[in-house]
Structure 1
């Protein structure tokens, strides 16, 4: 059994981090990698109180808590790190240069998945920063993206959901926006914010859950076939 230590940069938000952790353990069990309690990986979760990287102009001060969190994991001696947040991957190259430990690249993992599945059109929902900077735009795929008003609604829904304000109402708001673009021709929905993955995880919609993408990549690194 692998003795690799996994580092998780979480807290952005905390519920998504918890969801990722639970899904990872379930995935390892399902793959038959856990024969006894000693087979579970050592997992170091650094749940950081960091600002939401919602808008395009992100200051060095706002990014610093993420850098500090990664450096703390780096010092702990983990073998690789997974960042349970979509928007932070806009700064992947910069962050990777700050530490020696390899960080899973969610953008590349998602791109490879879209190619494998032959997906030709998709709706992207995420923070305004993620959408406007094209984190999940790839050549050869048609994209549907929320308009400005819808992006505001999506952002407000995430804020309210994280604060525990009428959670089911927030889910319904997001679902209505998604259904509109599915009717317009989107094959599936990229849940480009881990909070949307939590909100819509049980909803019967064609979707790509980026938490699942991270779980798959982490499992593969932990126990490569």
Structure 2
């Protein structure tokens, strides 16, 4: 039996499906049997991460831990969590399991550093921005970055919430407004640091400017599974 990827999902549901699709896309398979087994648990009722960070709403940690226990019991052998903001609780989650648990912020920033990408804007939820998850990691490697100003960040958050509510066109228009403003002040690259953002921007061109955090997380998980399944790890 091949090693199994477990997805701690539901934050949000579409981002979970996107991660599953990217696992398939990034797996070097020629038939069904060569694909990587995946167990996904999508519990959308996990409390809102940004609400907890900004206004002390209900903590999502206990429900995330409950999903982690389900994945463990089901046989998952590598965990990914396609939600950037939820990585505010990454240390607690990782410490609670012996299963390898990949970090979306770490793998995304590793790509930026290894490819010498600079002059980047962080597009993410207000919760992710306020916790400094990406800022702290990029500072360590002297990567030049910017975050949207307060007005722009409000629009980014409005875009993410519009997508979650099903208004895809409005979500795109709002996000594109902020991206255009940032391009006008010289920003060349954009971290899609919320797992809804690759979905919001799925129809945009010039994709080399955009660093897809979900995609980087999935590539790392697929690479891990391939190494283990081939007996080289």
Q: Shared fold by TM > 0.5?
A: yes
Aligned to 1:51: 47
Q: Give the C-alpha shift of residue 182 in structure 1.
A: 1.8
- Quote the residue 2:214 is aligned against: 211
Q: Is the 8 A contact 2:78 2:99 kept in 1?
A: yes
RMSD: 1.7
Distance 2:143 2:85 in 1: 20
* 2:146 counterpart residue number: 144
Q: What is the CA deviation profile of residues 3-36 of structure 1, one whole-angstrom value per residue up to 9, with x for unaligned ones?
A: 10110111111111111111211211xx3xx243
1:38-187 aligned within 5 A: 38-49=33-44, 50-55=46-51, 56-57=53-54, 58=56, 61-137=59-135, 138-139=138-139, 140-165=142-167, 167-187=168-188
Contact 1:123 1:143 survives alignment (8 Å)? yes
Q: Secondary structure of 2:80's partner?
A: strand
Distance 2:58 2:171 in 1: 31
Output the CA distance in 1 between the equivalents of 2:17 and 2:75. 22
Question: Deviations 1:17-69 (Å, cap 9, x if unpaired)?
Answer: 111111211211xx3xx243222222100001212211425566432211111
Work out the CA distance in 1 between the residues paired with 2:196 and 2:13. Answer: 9
Taking the aligned partners of 1:151 and 1:181, their CA distance within structure 2 comes to 12
User: Any idea what SS the aligned residue of 1:185 has?
Assistant: coil
Unaligned runs of 5+ in 1: none
Q: How many residues align?
A: 219
| Partner Cα separation in structure 2 for residue 111 and residue 151 of structure 1 | 21
Structure 1 consecutive aligned stretches of length 4 or more whose deviation exceeds 4 Å = 57-60
Task: Map 1:5-16; keep pairs closer than 5 Å.
Answer: 5-16=4-15
CA distance in 2, matches of 1:43, 1:62: 23
Structure 2: which 5+ residue stretches go unaligned? none
> Matched residues in 1 for 2:48 and 2:57: separation?
12
Q: Equivalents in 1 of 2:180, 2:35: separation in Å? A: 39
Distance 1:61 1:170 in 2: 27
Note the alpha carbon deviations across 1:146-201, whole angstroms, 9 max, x for none.
Answer: 12222222212211211113x11211110110121122122200011001111012
Asked if the contact 1:4–1:41 (Cα under 8 Å) also holds between the matched residues in 2, the reply is: yes
